[in-house]
Every structure is written in structure tokens, then in C-alpha cells.
Amino acid sequence: MTNKIIPFHLLLALTLLLNAVTVVADPVPSLSDEENYQIMQKALYGIRESLKEARGEFPQLAEIDNVTIKMDGLRGGGRIRLDYEKGVVQEDMSGPTFASGGCDIVVQIKYPATQVDVEMRPQLSGDLFPLDDERSYAVWSLVRAEEDSEAGQTFKARANAIISYHLKLMHAKLKGVVK
């Protein structure tokens, strides 16, 4: 095994462990909005750092230092988002056309959110997650790369695994399962 493969296997093992965690203890008190915002922000910074670690394996991540993380009115109810794009030649109704080694990554979190918020962005894969009886958050993510190349497919699978891992960890922290 190479050193490049070990972190990915560790990532998968941790993801499976998080999926297996169940809470039988007393309910955990709800976190404050400020604590929730911090956890959400840390998740996107974690995604960015994990993508940077994978940069040597994928030409799509050669410019990952250009990734942006933006907060749009989050404190009063808004979004936090991660955007990265490399090698997009054009984009039209059928989707983007990428240069070799090109990609597009978007991860957005809205808090608080409703099902209506999720439905307003049908072009992104979005889900609503309840935190307690009154509050929920929405997450959208999209990874696009060259569809017809094996390298593009491998990159998409790895980027989606990284994003999924950090979002599952974020959810576990928001629910009080993991500190």
C-alpha cells in the first residue's frame, strides 16, 4: 500500500464509524446558534484542508489554494459556502465543459432552513437536517469534472467522499454525538 491510499482508507473507516454511532443516553441540550455556526464553518474549512491534502493525487486540485469560503448573512440566517473552480471552458444549459483536469466544487449550508429552501435550488443536490423541534439546516453539494474520463470519475468519487465525511462529522457535532 502507498502512503496516498492510507489516508483515504482512514477517511472511509472514520465515516463508517460515524455512521454506526447511536446515542442512547439522555438528550443533549441544543447548541446555541453561534455554536452551530462555528461547527458549520469548521466543516467547510475541514473540507478545504482535506482537498488540499489530496492535491498531489489530482490535477483538478492544482489551484485549490484559490478556494473561497464565504458567509452570506449567516448570523441572521443565511449561508456559508465553499466554491472552487478550475478549468471550466464554458457552461450552458447542458452543464459545464471542462478542460483536461478541470472541475467545479460547491458546498453550501443554510441555517436555519426549511424544505422550501432546499426546493429553491433544484440544480444542486440538497437535503434538510433537523437539529431539534424548531430548527433545521440545509446542505447542498455538487462536484463536477470531466464525465467521460476515468480520472474525472475517480476525482469526483474522492471529492464526494471527503465532503461526505466532513458533513457527517459536522452533523454528529451539531447533534451532540461527537464533541
Prediction pTM value: 0.81
Q: CB count, 10 Å around CB of 14?
A: 13
pLDDT of residue 6: 53
User: 12-26, 112-126, 151-165: which range is least confident on average?
Assistant: 12-26
Q: Which residue type is seen at 73?
A: G
Residue 116 has pLDDT above 90, yes or no: yes
Residue with the larger pLDDT of the pair 7 and 126 = 126
d(CA 67, CA 33): 26
pLDDT at 94: 75
User: What is the Cα–Cα distance from 87 to 1, expressed in whole angstroms?
Assistant: 31
**Per-residue pLDDT tens for 14-55?**
554 555 444 433 445 578 888 899 999 999 999 999 999 999
Of 15-19, 115-119, 161-165, 173-177, minimum mean pLDDT range: 15-19
Residue 83 has a pLDDT of 95
Write the pLDDT tens digit of every residue in 66-101: 999 998 875 557 889 999 999 988 888 777 888 889
Encode the chain in three state secondary structure: CCCCHHHHHHHHHHHHHHHHCCCCCCCCCCCCHHHHHHHHHHHHHHHHHHHHHCHHHCHHHCCHHHCEEEEECHHHCEEEEEEEEEEEEEEECCEEEEEEEEEEEEEEEEECCCHHHHHCCCCCEEEEEECCCCCEEEEEEEEEECCCCHHHHHHHHHHHHHHHHHHHHHHHHHCCCCC
pLDDT value for 10: 60
Mean pLDDT of all residues belonging to the chain: 84
Mean pLDDT of 126-144: 91
Mean pLDDT, to the nearest integer, of 118-141? 89
